[in-house]
Amino acid sequence: MGKPTGFLEYLRELPADRAPSERVGDWKEFHEHLEEDKLKKQGARCMNCGVPFCHTGKLVSGMASGCPVNNLIPEWNDLVYRGLWREALERLHKTNNFPEFTGRVCPAPCEGSCVLGINDPPVTIKNLECSIIDHGWGEGWVIPQAPTVRTGKKVAIIGSGPAGLSAAAQLNRAGHTVTVFERADRPGGLLMYGIPNMKLDKQEVVLRRIRMMEQEGIKFICNANVGDNVEPQIFLKEFDATVICTGATQPRNLQIEGRELGGIHFAMEYLTANTKAVLEGGVPKTPIHAGGKDVVVIGGGDTGTDCVGTALRHGCKSLVQIEILPKPPGERAADNPWPEWPKVYKMDYGQEEAAARFGADPRVYMTTVKKFTGDADGRVKDLTTVEIKWEKNEQGQFVPKELPGTEKVRPAQLVLLAMGFLGPEQALLKEIGVATDPRSNVKAEFEKYTTSIPGVFAAGDCRRGQSLVVWAINEGRGAARECDRYLMGSTDLP
């Protein structure tokens, strides 16, 4: 512990983001870094607890608490305080293949379980993580590390999202020959097309890491859609093992009157089309554009926020985000104690930008949509909302009940459905022939990751359901470990 009194001497400090009114004019990342001296002070705030909850990822009350990849947080906090950046980077890479991803997009459950956070603002763990890896890239310390010996075993990874990439990196490190199959035109999965560029830069962050993985010997095959232009049988015939990492990409729909109207899209349709346009240098040409339109985003979470931020950059006319849940309290409620994830009200980047543009948080709570209304051309022109309250039914479950007289018609020429995901798409799983569980996920035991087919493993959202990027990295690493054990009889992978 570098400074025993650091948490008493220094206040929590984060770098200032670029001003909302400035950043909505481009697609560049909006986060900045603190100066090194200030970062050292933030590292000094770490208490080096006897029992640090921050680096032990668990589910508490159904929510992530602590770091799912078990980052050695107190260790690299201390190393940052001492100015030992290269050693801090080595500690960080021991547990996390891609800290430049999690340091940008992870909601930081580690901070929610920081012991200092019981009575003071927690340590700025996420910002320190991002600063360590960015410092490492800047100094040239992050270099390709190809294995010195190959095992002769061939492994296929289906899907190149965070689970697929981490599984590929670990299996390649073990000396296996790894091929990653991706159905999109670029590798990265969720990291490439599910998260906007201003939150995670594709060229300078995502593709930089993928190019390094290629230099380490991993092969990526894009536009490879299993069951379409890739025969499922090749995975059993040409590879010694396969890891399925396809994510949970089946979106939750809203089957109400008018759903068939034009101008109503799933969030991922919108975000994917926009990122492709950004990468190709022609955002105005994206097929789903919010410019000059009244936009309604249905659903919260990160995906809803990303839709808000994207629509603002398109130059939308107005913006409303509809949330069916109640507005969170300003501080932890009595039934949400530490070290649970703090369910408190906050303004994410998209809401901050909307407030700067339109004068208020765009979210409307305890509200649902009853119907969509179209114009003469068959496109949505408005929607009807109604306020709700949550009541227990006969089974003791909370269900929404409409409040009569609270209906409201809202203009909308673009509606984005961001209500989460139901599970993995079933066509590919049926083509391969793996068993699924009652929730439609691939049936594979946690920490074993073995499916109903010998030599076929599953990891990430396709196995556990919709979750965090950091959980996907955890699962990809775990599946790689078990796959290596299957291939070699034992494993040295962590």
Is the CB of residue 448 less than 8 Å from the CB of residue 134? no
- Tell me which residue has tokens 């906050």: 346
Please write the tens of the pLDDT for every residue from 224-260.
998 889 999 999 899 999 999 999 999 999 999 999 9
| Portions of the chain given CATH number 3.50.50.60 | 154-249+422-488, 253-419
Q: How far is CA 398 from the centre of its chain?
A: 28
CA distance linking residue 109 with residue 98, whole number of Å? 17
Is 269's pLDDT higher than 90? yes
3-class SS of residue 265: strand
Q: What is the mean pLDDT of residues 108-121?
A: 94
Q: How far is CA 364 from the centre of its chain?
A: 24
DSSP secondary structure, 324-389, as one string: SSPPPPSS--TTS-TTS--------HHHHHHHHHHSS--EE-SEEEEEEEE-TTSBEEEEEEEEEE
| Closest CA relative to residue 425, chosen from 236, 172, 158 | 158
pLDDT tier, 157 (very low <50, low <70, confident <90, very high otherwise): very high
3-class SS of residue 244: strand
CA distance linking residue 472 with residue 156, whole number of Å? 17
pLDDT of amino acid 396: 87
pLDDT of amino acid 50: 82
| Portions of the chain given CATH number 1.10.1060.10 | 6-139
Is 2's pLDDT higher than 90? no
pLDDT of amino acid 63: 85
| Closest CA relative to residue 63, chosen from 382, 250, 328, 309 | 328
| Closest CA relative to residue 105, chosen from 62, 161, 49 | 161
Q: What is the mean pLDDT of residues 212-221?
A: 98
Tell whether the torsion through CA atoms of 334, 337, 341 and 345 is positive or negative: positive
Q: What is the mean pLDDT of residues 282-300?
A: 92
Pairing of strands 380-392, 367-374: antiparallel
Structure tokens at 456: 């076929």
Structure tokens at 320: 């409303």
Average pLDDT of the residues of the chain: 95
Contacts of 415 (CB under 8 A, 6+ apart): 263, 264, 265, 295, 296, 298, 372, 380, 383
pTM: 0.95
Percent of the chain with pLDDT over 90: 90
CA distance linking residue 205 with residue 195, whole number of Å? 12
Q: CATH second-level architecture of 154-249+422-488?
A: 3-Layer(bba) Sandwich (3.50)
Structure tokens at 183: 């159905």
CATH class of 253-419: alpha beta
**Type of residue at 76:** W
CA distance linking residue 17 with residue 351, whole number of Å? 14
First to last CA, the chain: 25
Structure tokens at 238: 């040409």
pLDDT of amino acid 68: 95
Is the CB of residue 301 less than 8 Å from the CB of residue 452? no
pLDDT of amino acid 1: 64
Between 356 and 286, where is the model more confident? 356
Q: What is the mean pLDDT of residues 117-129?
A: 95
Please write the tens of the pLDDT for every residue from 413-457.
999 999 999 999 999 899 999 999 999 999 998 889 999 999 999
| Closest CA relative to residue 3, chosen from 39, 66, 55, 46 | 46
- Tell me which residue has tokens 């990342």: 29
Is the CB of residue 39 less than 8 Å from the CB of residue 116? no
Q: CATH second-level architecture of 6-139?
A: Orthogonal Bundle (1.10)
